């Protein structure tokens, strides 16, 4: 069981909502900082351990800066994400550039910032060589294919579009070495939203064993292995968070058994989580606008799938609290719905909740990663503001809400005047 209690109450949110109309995102700075420190503390045995926050999860410079202050780098996969890092002052090997189907322009930008290139395919060795020349450090992304099983979001590695096959990996390292690369690293990402801690230990073991083979077959000593992201979070109250101490202890045992025993110490361990870093500490606050009684009971809210598409897209569960009624009996069963002309615009289906009245404020939990960032503008719905609940209790607007002018900015209306 995980505690779904909120770090704020109705009065606080009413006060915030009087300055910033609903819907809005609210991130809890203190909780994010504590969580970042816990992750680093769990791996304090691992020399040079580094987490590169997956920017796509929550691409906001204020959050990137906060995480950078805690010692995190950034994992980017597009030009915009690289530019965000540049603006925040994150550069060089603090950036992991894990892209796929990359454009020359994106490789140029990564080169300009001195980011670590993590190549997704063997053909990119040549593409990168023609584009910017090969850097001294190259990371290659491994896809174990049928050798590993994945989960529902990322699919089975065999069906996943990412990475090198095992044979390509050896050929790729041989090629980059021939072409003058002197520093080597290995990456994989085979899970998403995975709650089983053994999974991450097995991923580490797989990469450690490859490090041994690469050394014996090609004489290559890896500088780091990047285990990717994908640590899950307990979206449902009955789920348990991943025990980081357990993951770390398991990886440490493998490290001794495989890396130290084969004389490959030191090998740095990197990760690039997004979801587990900010996910549980971001909330989408929305107001109940309408109630509707037809074949089912509906509550219509002022947020919609444009603000948070995970429930509509993946059928994902997001816990919902009704502010001021946190401890009230859940005697009603509702669908909580947004306003898109799309029947899957539902934040919850058949959810037991306290009786909701118009004007009630609802909190959609665990929206701090892959939430606002997946937003879109279908039906002319605008993306909401993002607010930071600062450690001192104050509230800072870290992204304003979109306006209709933003929405129409890409259209030239001159022919219609
Ligand atoms: C999305 C992604 C991540 C982050 O995944 P989370 O599930 O948010 O931890 C990390 N690395 C790569 C390559 C990704 O595509």
261 and 335 inside one domain: no
214 and 285 inside one domain: no
**Domain range holding 362?**
280-408
Helix, coil or strand: residue 54: strand
Does 15 map to a domain? Answer: no
The contacts found for 128-135 with CB under 8 angstroms, 24 or more apart, are: 129/179, 131/104, 131/107, 132/107, 132/108, 134/176, 134/179, 134/180, 134/181, 135/111, 135/181
Does 241 map to a domain? Answer: yes
Does 302 map to a domain? Answer: yes
What phi, psi does 59 have (nearest 5°)?
A: -80, 70
371 CB under 6 A from ligand 1? no
56 CB under 6 A from ligand 1? yes
pLDDT in tens, 29-82: 999 999 999 999 999 999 999 999 999 999 999 999 999 999 999 999 999 999
204 CB under 6 A from ligand 1? no
189 CB under 6 A from ligand 1? yes
Does 31 map to a domain? Answer: no
Domain count, the chain: 2
Helix (H) or strand (E) holding 68: helix 61-69
Ligand 1 centroid–CA 272 distance in Å is 6
Q: Which of 268, 185, 199, 269 is nearest to 230 (CA)?
A: 199
219 and 295 inside one domain: no
CA within 13 Å, CB half, 168: 17
Structure confidence at residue 152 as a pLDDT band (50, 70, 90) = very low
249 and 365 inside one domain: no
Point out the residues that are catalytic.
341
111 and 236 inside one domain: yes
pTM of the model: 0.96
Which ligand 1 atom is nearest residue 369's CA? 8
Which ligand 1 atom is nearest residue 153's CA? 7
pLDDT in tens, 340-365: 999 999 999 999 999 999 999 999 99
289 and 331 inside one domain: yes
Contact between residue 369 and residue 58 where contact means Cβ atoms under 8 Å apart: yes
183 and 287 inside one domain: no
Does 3 map to a domain? Answer: no
Q: Which of 398, 121, 30, 96 is nearest to 274 (CA)?
A: 96
The protein residue with its alpha carbon nearest to ligand 1, atom 3, reads 229
Helix, coil or strand: residue 26: strand
73 and 104 inside one domain: yes
180 and 124 inside one domain: yes
**CATH code of the domain covering residue 298:** 2.40.37.10
């Amino acid at each position: 069981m995980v505690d779904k209690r909120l770090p704020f109450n109705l009065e606080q949110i009413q006060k915030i909502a009087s300055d910033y109309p609903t819907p809005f995102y609210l991130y809890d700075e203190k909780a994010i900082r504590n969580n970042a420190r816990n992750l680093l503390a769990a791996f304090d045995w691992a020399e040079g351990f580094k987490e590169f926050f997956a920017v796509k999860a929550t691409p906001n410079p204020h959050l990137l800066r906060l995480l950078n202050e805690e010692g995190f780098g950034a994992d980017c996969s597009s030009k915009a994400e690289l530019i965000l890092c540049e603006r925040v002052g994150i550069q060089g090997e603090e950036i992991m550039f894990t892209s796929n189907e990359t454009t020359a322009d994106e490789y140029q930008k990564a080169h300009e910032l001195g980011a670590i290139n993590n190549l997704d395919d063997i053909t990119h060795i040549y593409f990168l060589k023609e584009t910017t020349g090969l850097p001294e450090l190259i990371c290659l992304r491994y896809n174990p294919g049928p050798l590993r099983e994945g989960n529902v979001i990322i699919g089975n590695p065999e069906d996943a579009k990412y990475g090198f096959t095992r044979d390509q990996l050896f050929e790729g390292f041989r090629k980059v070495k021939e072409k003058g690369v002197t520093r080597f690293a290995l990456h994989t990402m085979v899970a998403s939203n995975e709650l089983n801690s053994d999974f991450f230990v097995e991923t580490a073991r797989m990469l450690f064993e490859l490090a041994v083979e690469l050394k014996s077959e090609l004489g290559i000593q890896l500088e780091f292995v990047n285990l990717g992201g994908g640590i899950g979070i307990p979206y449902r109250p009955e789920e348990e968070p991943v025990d980081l101490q357990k993951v770390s202890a398991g990886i440490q045992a493998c490290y001794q058994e495989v890396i130290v025993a084969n004389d490959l110490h030191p090998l740095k361990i990197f990760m690039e989580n997004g979801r587990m870093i900010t996910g549980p500490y971001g909330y989408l606050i929305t107001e109940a606008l309408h109630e509707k009684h037809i074949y089912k009971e509906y509550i219509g809210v002022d947020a919609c799938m444009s603000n948070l598409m995970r429930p509509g897209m993946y059928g994902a569960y997001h816990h919902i609290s009704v502010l001021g009624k946190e401890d009230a009996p859940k005697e009603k069963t509702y669908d909580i719905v947004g306003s898109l002309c799309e029947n899957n615009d539902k934040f919850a289906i058949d959810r037991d909740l306290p009786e909701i009245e118009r004007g009630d404020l609802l909190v959609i939990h665990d929206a701090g990663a892959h939430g606002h960032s997946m937003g879109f503008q279908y039906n002319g719905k605008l993306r909401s503001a993002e607010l930071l609940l600062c450690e001192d209790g104050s509230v800072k607007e870290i992204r304003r809400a979109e306006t209709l002018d933003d929405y129409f900015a890409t259209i030239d209306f001159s022919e219609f005047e």
